[in-house]
Amino acid sequence: DQQVKQNSPSLSVQEGRISILNCDYTNSMFDYFLWYKKYPAEGPTFLISISSIKDKNEDGRFTVFLNKSAKHLSLHIVPSQPGDSAVYFCAASGNRDDKIIFGKGTRLHILP
User: Among 60, 69, 98, 112, which residue interacts with another protein (rule: CB under 8 A)?
Assistant: 98
| Contact between 49 and another protein per CB under 8 A | yes
User: Among 60, 83, 96, 112, which residue interacts with another protein (rule: CB under 8 A)?
Assistant: 96
| Contact between 4 and another protein per CB under 8 A | yes
Smallest separation (angstroms) from another protein to the CB of 93 = 6
| Contact between 1 and another protein per CB under 8 A | no
Long-range contacts for 32-35 (Cβ within 8 Å, ≥24 apart)? Answer: 32/92, 32/93, 32/94, 33/64, 33/66, 33/73, 33/90, 33/91, 33/92, 33/93, 34/90, 34/91, 34/92, 34/93, 34/100, 35/62, 35/64, 35/75, 35/88, 35/89, 35/90, 35/91
Judged by beta carbon, residue 32 or residue 79, the one nearer another protein is 32
Query: Where does this chain bind another protein (CB under 8 A)?
Result: 2, 4, 9, 32, 34, 36, 41-46, 49, 51, 89, 93, 96, 98-105
